[in-house]
A and B are shown apart, each in its own frame.
Chain A
Amino acid sequence: MKLDTFIDNLDRYGGDLDDWPEALRAAARQLAASSPEAAAAAGRARQLADVLAGLPERAAPPALAARIAARAATDRSLLSTVGDWFARALWRPALAASVPLALGFALGFSYQQPATTDDAYLLESFGMLPFSSSFEELPYEE
């Protein structure tokens, strides 16, 4: 590995050679051991990493956590209030509407009357409705 490549990789992967891709580690270690310039560059990269890792945490002000928790409690209670009202107000009408609907579907699917000739003629007539300019043209029987 050339020195320029080594320095580029230091910027890319950091000063700790253990964090480098495995395929590059052996060559990087060999260069760092044999080249004072490479060793110095690795040292500078480690120094930068140490400084950055040592930056103090910018802790949140103590009141912020309480403020967020209070907002969340309001948020959830508002949602649950609306949800509860919705559930309380609508479950009876929803149930009342669904029972006859379900019965209607059940009856409709279980009882299928065979179509008569008249029914077939009516169906054919209604099928022609979109192509008729007026009701007079419909093939009503006299």
Chain B
Amino acid sequence: MTAEVGEHDVPDPAARSGERTLEPDDGLLAAIADGDGDAFRRLLVNHLDAIHSYLYRMTGSTADAEDLAQETFLRVWRKASTFEPGRVKVTTWIHTIAHNLCIDAFRRNKVTHAEEDVTLADDTADPERLASDGQLAALMERAIAALPGNQRSAILLCQVQGFSNAQAARILGMNVRALESQLARARRTLRQALTAGTGGGER
């Protein structure tokens, strides 16, 4: 793997809301490894929403997202002692666990993701109205849901969860160049969907 964590360091996606505590996550993992339940609950507060959000968009199902999020954090609880501080960020480590569980579930056909039609029914769409009533976000959600799995995970990690290309590549277990290929395809599709949805033209 050629990915190097920290190459393009980004703010912890779990801290983007600004409402969460700023516990040093490495310390939390060390405490969890010693069986500290309070540290585990703080880690949940810091990361559960981001993980659930990622899994929801990967699976398209609230129930599957909840099941996989639960399994992810139970793995964190059991395997905290195997975390190597300084090698990866805690958020990268947890996303890696979540992504791998998600892929396992896809492989076992326990979880499926229905692809949807990404075009808007209203072809006279006005960009300002779309943005104001949330239709633009809904359009993008549908376009993301329709992407192939690798492209969907790449775009979600880099553009929604806030990871650098290097960090996302590590989570997905691929090299940065392969990730960038997935990103390029995903962005092209999403840009076309956005342009079509907002009635704009594109070269």
A positions within 8 Å CB-CB of B: 7-8, 10-14, 19, 37, 40-41, 44-45, 47-49, 51-61, 64-65, 67-69, 71-73, 75-76, 80
Contact = CB atoms under 8 A, between A and B. Distances in A.
Contact of A72 (B40, B49, B62): B40
Contacts of A10: 187
A49 B37 contact: no
Residue in B62, B191, B200 whose Cβ sees the most chain A Cβ within 10 Å: B191
11 contacts: A7-B203, A47-B194, A48-B190, A48-B194, A54-B137, A58-B56, A58-B65, A60-B65, A61-B66, A68-B44, A71-B70
Contacts of A59: 49, 52-53
Contact of A53 (B62, B160, B185, B194): B160
A64 B159 contact: no
A60 B48 contact: yes
B177 to A, nearest CB: 9
Nearest to B177: A12
Given A7-B203, A69-B41, A44 B49 contact: no
Contacts of B141: 55
B140 A51 contact: yes
B143 to A, nearest CB: 10
Contacts of A76: 35, 37, 77
Contacts of B181: 12
Contacts of B62: 61
Interface in B37-62: 37, 40-41, 44-45, 48-53, 56-57, 62
Interface residues of B, number: 49
B37 to A, nearest CB: 6
A14 B179 CA distance: 13
Interface of B: 8, 17, 35, 37, 40-41, 44-45, 48-53, 56-57, 62, 65-66, 69-70, 73-74, 77-78, 136-137, 140-141, 155, 158-160, 162, 165, 180-181, 183-185, 187-188, 190-191, 194-195, 200, 202-203
B69 A60 contact: yes
Given A51-B137, A60-B69, A68-B69, A44 B74 contact: no
A67 B44 CA distance: 11
A131 B31 CA distance: 62
Given A7-B203, A13-B165, A80-B35, 16 more contacts: A11-B184, A12-B180, A12-B183, A14-B183, A19-B8, A41-B203, A45-B187, A48-B190, A58-B49, A58-B53, A58-B65, A61-B66, A71-B74, A72-B40, A75-B74, A76-B77
B70 A57 contact: no
A57 to B, nearest CB: 5
B65 A14 contact: no
Contact of B66 (A8, A14, A48, A60): A60
Contacts of B183: 11-12, 14
Given A41-B203, A65-B48, A76-B35, A14 B187 contact: yes
Contacts of A49: 159
A64 B53 contact: no
